[in-house]
Homo-oligomer: A and B are copies of this chain.
Amino acid sequence: MTEKAGMTIGAFMAEKQVKVGLAGFGTVGCGVAKLILEEADSIAAKTGLRLELACVVDIDIESDRPVKLPDGILTNDINRLLNDDTIQIGVELIGGTGTAKEVQLKMLRAGKDVVTANKALLAVHGNELYEAAHKNNRCIAFEGSCAGGIPIVSAIRTGLTANNITAMYGIVNGTCNYILSEMTSKDEDFSEALAQAQNKGYAEADPALDISGGDSAHKLAILASIAFGYEIALSDIFVEGIESISKNDIRYGGEMGYTLKLLAIGQKDKEGRVSLRIHPSFIAKDSPLARVSGPFNAVSIFGNAVGQVMYYGRGAGMMPTASAVVADIVDVAIGNSATTFRHLHLKPRSEVESLIENIDNCVSRFYIRVLAKDQPGVVASYGKTLGDHQISISGALQHEGSGPDNTVPVVITTHPTQQKNVTAALGELAELDVLSGKPVCIRIVDIPEDNN
């Protein structure tokens, strides 16, 4: 499939046919089929490659789909794809880490390059699959696995390759971003906003993987590995979801100048130590990421040469993700993916494991909200506990008048301090007689400004 350099010249090149086999005919699979069927002419005009959908494999070959396939190409027999030597590219859109993994391995062994949007699989078994691809002299292309239609994987791997990437901050889960945007703009509770998101099709019936931060962690594992050049395990990432976010904290944070986002954060210090985290994050209202709302995704990357760059677009959905998958198909077909894949060097996990920062040692600022009983001595004991743990206060907010049960919410923000100090302080605060219930703690992330 790879042409030798220099055999053909620009506009005079004859069309080259590229047969594609698709495994998984769900939402994204339908989008990919639709794009290949509808845009084949335009892609051929632009690139000289004529994509042909040779077969589509799914266990369900009965249900109606939003795309009409040519007769005879839908099948429930994966061997039709695997055994057809004219199919050069296998697209795995089954999802999950079970069957999908077997199918990818079989595709590679059958001599097919693999294109996938399966972030969970790559986050968990990526290194094993990459090795299998190298061994079979094939490649795996995975632009669609992260941030849907935003070509972020190729931006990191090629466009920013001259840079030492020092940090990335991403809004990579559209469901969570939609929910937090609704809670912020409409002062809605989490459960109301989640129901809205489900109504609009932005959240699954079972939203657990999204709202727990698990889906964001999958994407961060993939993006951080290519940005930092490390093999990364999912367990290297600290994950906290948005399930217990209260609209009150979004409002108080807003009054103090912050917007709440679920951020995927990867930071590398000068010694190569890497901090990888998913958690709700208060960020300055006027930072570019704060303005990314609804189901959109955005990733901000800092490189030593380029400064800050940001990529923005739809992070999910049938056609945006299909756009990334088909771009990968073209990239594989012209031979670039194979080269890029071969030149992607990740430091083995054994070498980098000691460079992964434990969350306890991470330095951050914090937003801490307690419910203080309306009685004397509250501030003194609150402040003493923080001071005992070397936590210094940077701002405070207490509205006049007390709330339910004669308590009053008191919010403080801290100067930078290590997580372990805050964890210890929170434990003591929860025990204080003058406070009611457990304190709420949300990290404040100061995204560096690139303004020299």
Q: Which residues of A contact B (CB under 8 A)?
A: 2-6, 8-11, 13, 31, 35, 39, 42-43, 45-49, 130-131, 134-135, 137, 143, 148-151, 154-155, 158-164, 229, 288, 291, 294, 303-314, 319-320, 322-324, 326-327, 329-331, 334-336, 338-340, 342-348, 450-451
Q: What's the minimum C-beta distance from A326 to chain B, rounded to whole angstroms? A: 3
Bound: A149/B162 CA distance, A: 10
**Chain B, residue nearest A155 (CB):** B151
User: How far, in angstroms, from A163 to B161 measured CA to CA in the complex?
Assistant: 25
Contact yes or no, B309 A309, CB < 8 A? no
Give A100 to B450 CA distance when docked, in angstroms: 32
Contact A46 B313 (CB under 8 A): no
Q: In whole angstroms, how far apart are the Cα atoms of A229 and B3 in the complex?
A: 23
A148 to chain B: closest residue by CB: B306
Judge whether B9 and A342 touch: CB under 8 Å.
yes
Please, which residues of chain B bring their CB within 8 A of the CB of A304? 319
- Least CB distance, A355 to chain B, in whole angstroms: 14
Of the candidates B9, B135, B158, B312, the one whose C-beta lies within 8 Å of that of A312 is B312
What residues of B have a CB within 8 angstroms of the CB of A336 in the complex?
158, 336, 339-340
Picked from B13, B42, B314, the residue with its CB within 8 Å of the CB of A164 is B42
Cross-chain contact A162 with B43 (CB below 8 angstroms): yes
Q: Could you tell me the distance between the alpha carbons of A155 and B327 in the complex, rounded to whole angstroms?
A: 10
Of B13, B49, B291, which contacts A291 at CB under 8 A? B291
Q: How far in angstroms is the closest Cβ of chain B from A416? A: 26
A–B Cβ pairs within 8 angstroms, 14 of them: A10-B130, A11-B346, A31-B305, A39-B163, A46-B343, A149-B303, A149-B305, A149-B306, A154-B158, A158-B327, A288-B312, A291-B291, A306-B324, A312-B312
| A163 CA / B31 CA spacing, docked (Å) | 12
Q: How far is the CA of A48 from the CA of B148 in the complex (A)?
A: 29
Contacts A305-B320, A314-B307 known; A342 to B13 CB distance under 8 Å?
yes
Choose among B5, B43, B303, B307 the residue that contacts A335 (Cβ–Cβ < 8 A): B5
Smallest beta-carbon distance A188→chain B, Å:
19
- For A338, list chain B residues within 8 Å (CB): 5-6
Whether A323 contacts B305 by the Cβ 8 Å rule is yes
Query: Nearest 10 pairs between A and B by C-beta?
Result: A151-B159, A162-B326, A309-B313, A149-B306, A305-B323, A10-B134, A310-B312, A306-B323, A2-B5, A336-B336
5 extra A-B contacts, CB within 8 A, seeds A5-B339, A35-B162:
A10-B130, A46-B161, A162-B326, A308-B312, A336-B336
| Cross-interface CB contact of A308 among B159, B161, B313, cutoff 8 Å | B313
The answer on a CB contact under 8 Å between B345 and A334 is no
Closest to A152 in B: B159
**Chain B residues whose CB sits within 8 angstroms of the CB of A324 once the complex forms:** 159, 306
Residues B314 and A158 in contact, CB atoms below 8 Å apart: no
* Pair B306/A345 contact, Cβ less than 8 Å: no
Of the candidates B48, B294, B323, which one forms a contact with A162 in the assembled complex, judged by CB atoms under 8 Å apart? B323
**By the criterion CB–CB under 8 Å, are B150 and A330 in contact?**
no
Bound-state Cα–Cα, A161 to B327, Å: 6
CB-based nearest B residue for A51: B162
Tell me whether A11 and B314 are in contact in the complex, defined as CB-CB below 8 angstroms, given that A43-B161, A319-B305 are known contacts.
no
Given contacts A159-B154, A161-B43, A314-B308, contact A334 B323 (CB under 8 A): no
Name the residue of chain B whose CB is nearest to the CB of A346: B11
A42 to B150, CA, bound (A): 26
